[in-house]
Amino acid sequence: MIAGYIQWNSLHPRRKVVAQIEMLDPQKDNPPVALRAPRTWDFMETTLVALIAYAVFGLTAWLSLGVLLGMQDGVEKLSTAQLQALAARGSWYGAALIISCPATIAVLWIAIRMAGREFGEYLALNWPSRGDLMRAFSVVAILLAVETVISPNLSSANPIVVGGGYVGLLVLLIGGCIAGPVMEEFVFRGFLFRGWSESFLGPIGAIVLTSALWGMYHTQYDWSQRFWIFVSGLALCAFRWRTNSTWLAVIVHSAVNIFISFFSGPYR
C-alpha cells in the first residue's frame, strides 16, 4: 500500500510539479525578474493622456448620441433644425454622459496601470471625513451665495427641454449629477492634478492650471459662467489637495449640480 502511494505520488502531474518546484534553488536556478518601478506621469505625458481621454469622451458621446437618435421612429424625415433640436434635449445629453463615462475612465485606468500604480491610489480615491465634507460644503455654499449676488442672471429662466417624461428627467439627472461629476473629477482633480502637481508646476500651479482648463472645457457656457466654473474649480482642487480625496471633489461637484438642476429653471 505504501509502495502504491509512493508510485502514485511520483506519477501524479500536480505532485510532480510541486516536487520540481521544491527542488529548485532560488539562488541558482531562478532568473531575476525585472520589476517596473512605480512612477508618476510627467507634465507632457499627463497632458497627452488627458487629451486622449477627452477625445474618447467626445467620440463616444457623439457616437452614442447618433445611435440613440437613429433608433427613433421617423428621424429620417426630420429637417436639420428639427434634428438639432431633438439632439439638444436634456435626456439625450444625460444618456451620452452615462455611456461615455466608462470609456473615458478606462483610458485613465490603462495609463495608471502602465505606470505601475494602483488606480485608487493614483487618483486619491480616499473617502473624506465628516469634517472635511462639512467644511467643503460650507465653502461652496458661500461661493454660490456670492455668485448669486454678483451675477444674478447666470441661471437661465428658460425651460429645460428634457423629453421622455419622468424617465428622461431621471436620465438627465443621473448623467449630469452622477456620471458627469465622476468622470470630470477623475480626469481633472484626480489624474491631471496628480501628474501636474508633481511636475515643475507644483501643487499651486497645478490647481490654477487645472481650474483654468476646467473652465475652458465647459464650452456650452459664456465667459461669465466660465469664470465662476474656474472659481469653483479652484475650490474643488484645493479640497483635493488638502484632504488627498478626489471623492470629496466628486461629492461636492455632484451636490452643486443637483442644486443647479433643481433651481436653474423649470423642466418640460
Cell numbers 510627467: residue: 42
**What is the distance of C-alpha 10 from the center of its chain?**
54
CA distance 97 to 92: 9
Cell numbers 445629453: residue: 93
CA distance 1 to 11: 15
All three cell numbers of 127, joined, read: 473617502
CB 84 within 8 A of CB 66: no
Task: Give the residue ranges of DSSP H helices in 158-222.
Answer: 165-174, 180-185, 193-197, 202-217
Q: What is the pLDDT of residues 119-166, one digit of tens each?
A: 999 999 999 999 999 999 999 999 988 988 887 665 555 566 776 677
Q: So what's the pLDDT on residue 157?
A: 52
Out of 2-11, 80-89, 97-106, 217-226, which region has the weakest mean confidence (pLDDT)? 2-11
Q: Which element (helix H / strand E) includes 44? A: helix 43-70
Give the residue with greater pLDDT, 63 vs 154: 63
pTM of the model: 0.81
Q: What is the pLDDT of residues 70-122, one digit of tens each?
A: 776 666 666 666 556 666 677 788 888 999 999 999 999 999 999 999 999 99
Q: Which amino acid is at 249?
A: A
CA distances from 186 to 23, 31, 170, 194 (A): 48, 39, 23, 10
The span from the first CA to the last CA of the chain, in angstroms, equals 84
**In which band, very low, low, confident or very high, does the pLDDT at 253 lie, cut at 50, 70 and 90?**
very high
SS3 128: coil
CA distance 119 to 53: 15
User: Which residues, 6+ apart, have CB-to-CB distance to 137 below 8 Å?
Assistant: 252, 255
